[in-house]
Structure 1
Amino acid sequence: MPAPDLTLLLDAARGAGEIAQRYWRQEPQVWEKDHGAGPVSEADLAVNDFLRDHLTGARPNHGWLSEESPDEPSRLDATSCFIVDPIDGTRAFIDGQQGFSHSLAVTTGDRVTAAVVHLPILGLTYAAVPDGPATLNGQPIHVREATLETADILAGRPVMEPGFWRDHQAPPFKRSFRPSLAWRLCLVAEGRFDATLSFRAAWEWDIAAGSLIAERAGARVTNRHGRAMQFNSPDARVDGIVIAAPALHAELRGAMVAPIRPV
């Protein structure tokens, strides 16, 4: 039987998907956020409102951290916190693509204790808790093994820049891309890709849920420095991500230039 917080997240994710589908390919209103933070649509806000009402209504003492809500410092004093991206992959959603997701996590302290990533159009629901397997639509999933020479890695173009790598060129892996960062972590978890990688700071709402799903599927999950991720932090960001099966993770870390500023 799923843990209570996981059951709550699963129910919320389904409701979020129903709301998102009302706007998908219906030309929702779209505008740009301040400071070049990217686009947001009326669907993002409608899903955010639903999730906040549904989740904090059930757990009023949990903190709240969402891409589409003003940050509330009180979350740092809460024992548990919801970390939510109402629509991860907003550009894909606006373009009518299928690969957007709802990313929902609960943290206790600085660790994720329940996680759901739901792709309503594709009918995919990934989930995990710390003491069970990662699942896709209720069935266990697991990472696959690869080497740097054979790996298919989900990442943006900047990871190929030579300055990030010890030999001044990226290793000979294949680079692929999907619009939702949360989904990228889950695709590694289910063994469809071998790793996901970013040298840029990642917002917690993009990766909190997927990080636990990937971990419970057998991946090593760290920031770019090889350290465990910590969530519900004041900055709400993680300094890069390296997520892969343990042997490939070690190869990737060994091939990377050590960052100048450790965290």
Structure 2
Amino acid sequence: MSGLTDAALAADIAEAAGQVLLAVREELLDSGAEDQRAIAKAGDQRAQDFIAERLAAERPQDAVLSEEAKDDLSRLDAARVWIIDPLDGTKEFSQGRHDWAVHVALWEDGELAAGAVALPGIGQTLRSDDPPAVPAREDDSAPLRFAISRSHPSELITAVIEESGGGSVAMGSAGFKVCAVVRGEADAYVHAGGQFEWDSAAPIAVARAAGLFASRLDGSPMRYNQRDVYLPDLIVCRPADADRVRAAVDAATARA
């Protein structure tokens, strides 16, 4: 065991798994692989194996919830549960893009206790124990920039942008979008229509540590290590923008 704190371990594992993924992708592309689904599957599996092995060695008593592993629900009786997405953004990864991520979070006694999001494509890892300072907006009344899906923006986010008079910044994975708000590349991320706990746990841990507002669309808290891991919607933004974003979400929802 390394003796790392939980947050430091999350960051170390996420960053190392990101390097594993970069190596896997380079290896497959160099060998002439063209099937994007096969590249994504190989990356998912290799990262899952790496993370599972590290957690088993470093925190053998803890439970694990991962997108790429069977959930036997024993975690519901555990005080500490690692929530993992070995590869968030398989499409972006397999296409050779940069906007994908690795998520490693720890849930402890009812709350997210630590988290890290590796962004290997840009060589950065965001962590809850040392979050970056969210860049200040020059004009708090300026139109908001919403992080949206490059390939399939939802009807809701399109309506939210219209209601708020804002603009959009297109990008890939969920974790990358949350981190875009943390990093100041976007002002808000609103999602509805399908995510699971592993899609948001680590990004939300980092966002909260950085002082951002995070909630469900209806304003209720994000809750993790639930029996049903479906957690389909979220809002992430600066606290000063939360009322504007919530109002736009409410108006857009009423239109639907």
The TM-score normalised by the length of structure 2 is 0.85
1:86 aligns with 2:86: yes
Aligned to 1:60: 60
Could you say if the C-alpha distance between residues 239 and 19 of structure 1 is closer, same or farther in structure 2, counting changes exceeding 3 Å?
Answer: closer
Shift in Å at residue 203 of structure 1? 1.2
Alignment of 1:70-219 (within 5 A): 70-129=70-129, 133-134=130-131, 140-142=132-134, 144-145=136-137, 150-156=143-149, 157-158=153-154, 159-162=156-159, 169-219=162-212
The answer to which of 9-18 and 209-218 deviates more is 9-18
Number of residue equivalences? 241
String of CA shifts for 1:185-234, please: whole Å, max 9, x gaps. 11211222101111224211111111121112221110111111111111
Q: Is the 8 A contact 1:148 1:171 kept in 2?
A: no
Q: Is the 8 A contact 1:160 1:170 kept in 2?
A: no
Aligned to 1:16: 17
**Gapped regions of structure 1 (runs ≥ 5):** 33-38, 135-139
Shift in Å at residue 170 of structure 1? 3.4
Q: Is the 8 A contact 1:195 1:244 kept in 2?
A: yes
The TM-score normalised by the length of structure 1 is 0.82
Aligned to 1:137: none
In 1: Cα distance, 2:247 partner to 2:6 partner: 37
Could you say if the C-alpha distance between residues 193 and 5 of structure 1 is closer, same or farther in structure 2, counting changes exceeding 3 Å?
Answer: same
Q: Is the 8 A contact 2:97 2:121 kept in 1?
A: no
Q: Is the 8 A contact 2:6 2:114 kept in 1?
A: yes
Shift in Å at residue 125 of structure 1? 0.8
Shift in Å at residue 121 of structure 1? 3.0
SS of alignment partner, residue 41 of structure 1: helix
Aligned to 1:36: none
Q: Is the 8 A contact 2:75 2:81 kept in 1?
A: yes
Could you say if the C-alpha distance between residues 148 and 196 of structure 1 is closer, same or farther in structure 2, counting changes exceeding 3 Å?
Answer: farther
Could you say if the C-alpha distance between residues 227 and 3 of structure 1 is closer, same or farther in structure 2, counting changes exceeding 3 Å?
Answer: farther
In 1: Cα distance, 2:62 partner to 2:142 partner: 44
Could you say if the C-alpha distance between residues 149 and 202 of structure 1 is closer, same or farther in structure 2, counting changes exceeding 3 Å?
Answer: farther
Within the candidate set 232, 237, 240, 1:247 is matched to 240
CA-atom RMSD, angstroms? 2.4
In 2: Cα distance, 1:235 partner to 1:99 partner: 28
Runs of 4+ in 1 over 6 A off after TM superposition: none
String of CA shifts for 1:89-139, please: whole Å, max 9, x gaps. 11011111122211110110331111111122311010004xxx51xxxxx
Alignment of 1:15-34 (within 5 A): 15-25=16-26, 26-27=28-29, 31=37
- Aligned letter for 1:63? A
In 2: Cα distance, 1:251 partner to 1:147 partner: 11
Aligned to 2:219: 226
Q: Is the 8 A contact 2:145 2:169 kept in 1?
A: yes
